[in-house]
Amino acid sequence: MTTLKSKLHDDLIAAIRARDELRSATLRLTLAAISKEEVSGKSARELSDDEVQKVIAKEAKKRREAAEAFAQGGRAEQAEREKAEGVLLDAYLPQQLSDDELGAIVAQAVGEAKAAGAEGPRAMGAVMKIVGPKVAGRADGGRVAAAVKQSLAAG
């Protein structure tokens, strides 16, 4: 078992013993999503820590979207639970970049892309290729794309 997956498992056992229903339910669903990912495809395999992290990020994003949908639907109690689950999962992810840090990385990437000759709307793809690996797992893709668009429009 990978170290992140075993940490999730250990935390699940601790949550069950502490009778922490929210934490145990959230970790159970996350471990189930990881197991599902491990058996999907042609053959079963063990996920690396990076792959486990991607599954956790996907699950956290689902919680944020569900919380938004419940809030818009007038189901505040359910929205709060989804938000709490999202916060719980965020603890297992790397620290997210601040807007200033993301802006600095994007500005540097825009400079590199322009130096390579990328101009106009086509520069978006070139900049995203440069920014992607630098912010992997530390910023939501939508946030990164918005920052790149804003930087290209300003520059």
In the three-class reduction of DSSP (H, G, I as helix; E, B as strand; rest coil), residue 9 is classed as helix
The reported pLDDT for the residue numbered 51 is 85
**Global pTM exceeds 0.85:** no
What's phi and psi for 17, nearest 5 deg?
A: -65, -35
- The whole-number average pLDDT for the span 67-92 is 90
Q: What is the rounded distance in angstroms from the CA atom of residue 152 to the CA atom of residue 88?
A: 35
The confidence band for 90, taking pLDDT boundaries of 50, 70 and 90, is confident
pLDDT (tens digit per residue) in 115-136: 777 676 677 777 777 777 777 7
Q: How far apart are CA 95 and CA 138, in angstroms?
A: 6
Q: How many other C-beta atoms can be found within 10 angstroms of the C-beta atom of residue 121?
A: 9
Tokens 């992810």, residue located? 93
* Arithmetic mean of pLDDT, 19-48: 89
135, 148 Cβ separation under 8 angstroms: no
